[in-house]
């Protein structure tokens, strides 16, 4: 409950947003850590989803170096958003078309949302921070999409064709 409450509070949950934006929230536990994220998104008429802001809170036990925890959360958000928006693997003539990162799209710097990471004070044993952010960002984004459009996203990557309104 601590990570959920902190993320919601820091994101201003329940306060008004600019027209055309919505928030979504998600919670996840893995590697001995708990994480919550609030994603603020908009969806254009042609179905393109933009993540403007992410507020994350993590309880990873005792923190040795807060800057490293924040960097790991941010990188997990990049990786998770890359999968959520571009993580399609295509097969042609029985072979996977994508061979490596040169032909597999990843989030670019201009697409990166503003990220705030908040650490829950804890005296618990150390938990992991390397991958904890990856599985929670897509559900937060998809919950925001639902709040904005009424459309549930049930598979990834997010297909802009499903979100088109024009």
Cis peptide before 76 (omega within 30 of 0): no
> Burial code of 55-69, b = ≥16 C-beta within 10 A, e = fewer?
bbbbbbbebeeeeeb
Check residue 100 and give its pLDDT: 82
Check residue 98 and give its pLDDT: 84
Q: How far apart are CA 110 and CA 94, in angstroms?
A: 35
Q: State the greatest distance between any 2 C-alpha atoms of the chain, in Å, as a whole number.
A: 54
pTM, 2 dp: 0.93
Successive 10-residue mean pLDDT values, the chain, 166 residues: 96 96 97 97 96 98 94 96 92 89 85 96 90 96 97 95 88
DSSP 62-74: S-S-HHHHHHHHH
Check residue 13 and give its pLDDT: 97
Q: How far apart are CA 147 and CA 161, in angstroms?
A: 18
Neighbouring C-alpha atoms within 13 Å toward the C-beta of 162: 16
Check residue 58 and give its pLDDT: 97
Check residue 165 and give its pLDDT: 85
Q: How far apart are CA 114 and CA 106, in angstroms?
A: 17
């Amino acid at each position: 409950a601590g990570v959920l409450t902190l993320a919601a509070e820091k994101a201003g949950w329940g306060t008004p947003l600019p027209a055309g934006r919505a928030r979504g929230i998600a919670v996840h536990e893995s590697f001995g850590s708990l994480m919550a994220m609030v994603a603020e998104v908009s969806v254009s008429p042609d179905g393109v989803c933009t993540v403007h802001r992410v507020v994350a809170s993590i309880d990873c036990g005792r923190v040795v170096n807060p800057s490293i925890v924040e960097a790991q959360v941010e990188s997990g958000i990049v990786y998770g958003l890359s999968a959520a928006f571009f993580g399609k693997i295509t097969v042609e003539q029985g072979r996977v078309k994508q061979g490596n990162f040169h032909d597999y799209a990843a989030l670019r710097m201009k697409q990166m949302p503003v990220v705030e990471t908040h650490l829950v004070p804890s005296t618990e044993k150390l938990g992991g921070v390397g991958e904890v952010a990856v599985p929670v960002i897509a559900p937060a984004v998809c919950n925001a999409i639902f709040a904005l459009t009424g459309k549930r996203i049930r598979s990834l990557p997010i297909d802009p064709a499903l979100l088109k309104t024009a």
